[in-house]
Chain A
Amino acid sequence: MKIEILGTGCPKCKKLAELTEEAVNELGVSAEIFKVTDIHKIIDYGVMVTPALVIDGDVKVAGKIPSKVEIINWIEEINI
Chain B
Amino acid sequence: MKQKNKFLFIIIVFTFFYFMPFSSSKILNALMESLLMAQDYARQHVLLCLIPAFFIAGAIANFISQENVIKYFGAGANKFLSYTVASVSGTILAVCSCTVLPLFAGIYKRGAGIGPATAFLYSGPAINVLAIILTARVLGFELGLARAIGAIIFSVIIGLSMHFIFIEDEKKKNLNANKNLTIGKVEQEDRPLWQTTFYFAIMIGILIFANWGKDESIKIWQIIYNFKWFITGILLIILSWIVIKWFKKEERIQWVKSSWGFAIQILPLLLGGVLVAGFLLGRPGSEALIPKIWIENLVGGNSLWSNLFASVVGALMYFATLTEIPILQGLLGEGMGKGPALALLLAGPALSLPNMLVIRSIMGTKKTLVFIFLVVVMATFSGMLFGNFF
Contacts and interface: CB of A to CB of B under 8 A. Distances in A.
Interface of A: 7-13, 39-40, 42-43, 46-50, 52-53, 59-64
Given A8-B102, A48-B103, A61-B185, A39 B93 contact: no
Interface residues of B, number: 32
Contacts of B231: none
Q: Which of A8, A11, A46, A49 has the most CB of B within 10 A?
A: A49
Given A59-B182, A62-B184, A63-B186, A48 B70 contact: yes
Determine the main DSSP class of B at the interface with A.
Answer: helix
A76 B186 CA distance: 19
Given A39-B358, A61-B184, A48 B97 contact: no
Contacts of B110: 43, 46
Q: Which of B106, B110, B185, B361 has the most CB of A within 10 A?
A: B106
B268 to A, nearest CB: 12
B102 A39 contact: yes
B185 A43 contact: no
A48 B102 contact: yes
Nearest to A67: B250
Given A10-B98, A42-B102, A60-B184, 17 more contacts: A10-B97, A12-B261, A39-B105, A39-B358, A39-B361, A43-B102, A43-B105, A47-B183, A48-B70, A48-B103, A48-B106, A49-B99, A49-B183, A59-B182, A61-B186, A63-B66, A63-B67
B181 interface: yes
Interface string B366-382: 00000000000000000
Interface of B: 61-62, 66-67, 70, 73, 93, 96-99, 101-103, 105-107, 109-111, 178, 181-186, 261, 265, 358, 361-362
A11 B261 CA distance: 9
19 contacts: A7-B98, A9-B98, A12-B261, A40-B361, A42-B105, A46-B106, A47-B182, A47-B184, A48-B181, A48-B183, A49-B66, A53-B184, A59-B183, A59-B184, A60-B184, A62-B184, A62-B186, A63-B99, A63-B184
Determine the main DSSP class of A at the interface with B.
Answer: mixed
B185 A49 contact: no
